[in-house]
Amino acid sequence: MALKIARRGLVPPFIVMDVLRAANDREAAGEDVLHLEVGQPGTPAPAPVRAAAKAALESARLGYTDAMGVPSLRARIARSYGETYGVELDPQRVIVTTGSSGGFLLGFLASFEAGDRVALAAPGYPAYRNILTSLGVEPVLLPCDLAHRFQPTVELLDRVAPPLDGLILASPSNPTGTMLGRAALSDLVAYCADRGVRLVSDEIYHGIAYEEPAVSALELTDDAIVINSFSKYYSMTGWRLGWMVLPEDLLRPVECLAQNLFISPPTLSQIAAETAFDCHEELDGYVAAYARNRAVLLRELPKAGFDRLAPADGAFYLYADVSRLTNDSQDFCRRMLAETGVAVTPGMDFDPERGHRFVRFSFAGPEVEMGQAAARLGAWLAD
């Protein structure tokens, strides 16, 4: 007799992981693959972070920590808000999490009931809608387009049938890299305040911006759940460490959930991460490399035939409208990998409705590969 499987687990796969596997299989077979599909830095954690981890491994007990995180790390994170945004923050409002992914789970569980409705941009990071769905919360996709930098607007929200319980924002966004300016973000914060909508601001790509620095929701309100991570700017994806800044009313519920779900975030990573806030020289060097990669792709991709690109204000992605080249971006990416060895991600992950017309290029890899990829793609499309 077949045993029951909960519907909660029936969420779509993350297609980029399938692309990654296909690219790795080709590489293992001896082929030369250019990885413009991966959404993570190709660099290690800053040297002082690695040194701190080595020392802690030898000398610290590495037991559980407080469920909210090591107090000195919470204090250091709070201090960084003063340094970066000029915002004074009580360390008690900071909770350290297992990546921002752990933060989403805790934040959504504490804020939304099954049956609630939460708006978010399409295209957007797929885990938001898949986590919400698995919790029985209804994701309400806002069809965002180039005219509004692929970001939600009050006008789009006004078209959503009530009730709305939450809004998730990501600036810079994955997959588009586009950002919300201060005025646009303020409008959305005011919208949420007026209607009692819980705002979740994913700020994981803060620090990686090319024109203006990103604005934190915390500069505008104390009511939002602000989510961040050591994964991107700090180049520490595998250390599985992130944090949230919470409104007062969510502190205790999130603490209780964290105690039960995770006990504590990874101890070794927490001890080492404290030094990351003093590594700006090394980390800004990584951002300078992304900026060079971005410049190469913005110059070369249009020549190759990818001329409809979202204005990537930050992060390390370019989202390209490929509707003039294909109506099936998944098949297009499969053929691209097979025929050129260039791996990119089809848009379906990010936008179930319109993603078949888009692909995402990641430029987190080595600079030399950016030019090579554009050259291979130019020759391929010319064929």
Ligand X SMILES: Cc1ncc(COP(=O)(O)O)c(C=O)c1O
Select 208 or 271, whichever has its Cβ closest to ligand X. Answer: 208
Contact by Cβ (8 Å): 173, 150: yes
Q: Does 202 interact with ligand X (rule: CB under 6 A)?
A: yes
From 19-27, 50-58, 98-106, 262-270, span contacting ligand X (CB under 6 A)? 98-106
Q: Min. distance of Cβ 218 from ligand X in angstroms?
A: 17
Asked if 174 touches ligand X (CB under 6 A), the answer is yes
> Cα-Cα-Cα-Cα dihedral of 172, 35, 381, 367, to 10°?
70
Least separation in angstroms between residue 204's CB and ligand X is 4
On the CB side of 248, CA atoms within 13 Å amount to 3
> Which of 237, 267, 326, 372 is the binder for ligand X (CB under 6 A)?
237
| By the rule CB under 6 A, 37 interacts with ligand X | no
Q: What type of residue sits at position 96?
A: V
Among 111, 151, 201, 229, binds ligand X (CB under 6 A): 229
Query: What is the spatial distance between Cα 179 and Cα 292, in angstroms, rounded to a whole number?
Result: 19
Q: Is 41 in the site for ligand X (CB under 6 A)?
A: no
Q: Does the protein bind ligand X through residue 231 (CB under 6 A)? A: yes
Who's near 178: CB < 8 A, 6+ residues apart? Answer: 149, 150, 151, 171, 172, 310, 311, 312, 313, 314
CB of 253: closest distance to ligand X in angstroms? 21
Cα angle: 184, vertex 188, 192; to 5 degrees: 170
Query: Between residues 330 and 345, which has the closer beta carbon with respect to ligand X?
Result: 345
All residues at 6 or more sequence positions from 358 whose CB lies less than 8 Å from its CB, including other chains? 123, 175, 319, 320, 321, 322, 329, 346, 347, 350, 351
Of 175 and 341, nearer to ligand X (C-beta) is: 175
Whole-number Å distance between alpha carbons of 160 and 55: 53
Q: Does 99 bind ligand X (CB under 6 A)?
A: yes
Instruction: Tell me: does residue 95 bind ligand X (CB under 6 A).
Output: no
Closest approach of Cβ 230 to ligand X, in Å? Answer: 7
- Residue 101 contacts ligand X per CB under 6 A: yes
**Minimum CB distance to ligand X, residue 300 (Å):** 24
Are the C-beta atoms of 269 and 229 separated by less than 8 Å? no
Q: Which positions lie near ligand X, rule CB under 6 A?
A: 39, 99-101, 125, 170, 174, 202, 204, 229, 231, 237, 242
